[in-house]
Every structure is written in structure tokens, then in C-alpha cells.
Amino acid sequence: MSEKRISDLNWPSLLQRQFHPSPLAWEDQVLCFLLPDRFSDGKEKGYRDNAGNKVTTGTTPPFDPSIDNGNAIQTPTDAANCATLALCSSEAT
């Protein structure tokens, strides 16, 4: 069955499971996330749309590891800026 509403859930079976307790001190936890370095510009070529049809009219080529891999950080200044952003982001939380 595909649940579409919260009332469709089988609550007794869900609540009888064992749960892992949340930590008392979240500041001691390490949280990781993935941030892709490519974003849609609405002009991609070579991907599949929501209906599964291949898009051939775009001007932006798909990711090519031989060209795109490692091109985000090209200079020591880029690396320093990236490290500063990561440090500032972690200190803000």
C-alpha cells in the first residue's frame, strides 16, 4: 500500500520498533553532508527529463570527468577561500 496521508500509516507496527536515542550533546556530534558542485542552468543536454525522454536541445554538456573533475579549486587562493568558508560555516553552528 502506498501511504498518501499520515492517517494511512500503520502506527502500531511503527511504534513497536527499537529506536536509537538522540545524543544529549549534539555539539559533540559530527554531521556530514554532500554538496554537488554543479547546479542546473536549465540548458543541460544529454540527461533525461521527468518523463524519461532524453534532452537533446540544451547547450550545457553533461559532466565529463576528464574535463570537469577537480576544476573547482585551481589555485591556492581558491583552496584557502574554500577552507575559510568551511571553517566559518562550522563555527556558525
- Against a cut of 0.75, is the pTM above it? no
Nearest C-alpha neighbor of 38 from the set 8, 70, 86, 16? 70
Q: Which amino acid is at 73?
A: I
Q: For residue range 33-43, what is the model confidence (pLDDT) as tens digits?
A: 777 656 677 78
SS (H, E, C) 72-89: CCCCHHHHHHHHHHHHHH
More confident residue, 91 or 60: 60
**pLDDT computed for residue 64 by the predictor:** 80
70 three-state secondary structure? coil
Helical H segments across the chain, by residue range: 11-15, 65-68, 76-92
**pLDDT computed for residue 79 by the predictor:** 75
The mean pLDDT value of the chain amounts to: 76
**pLDDT computed for residue 92 by the predictor:** 45
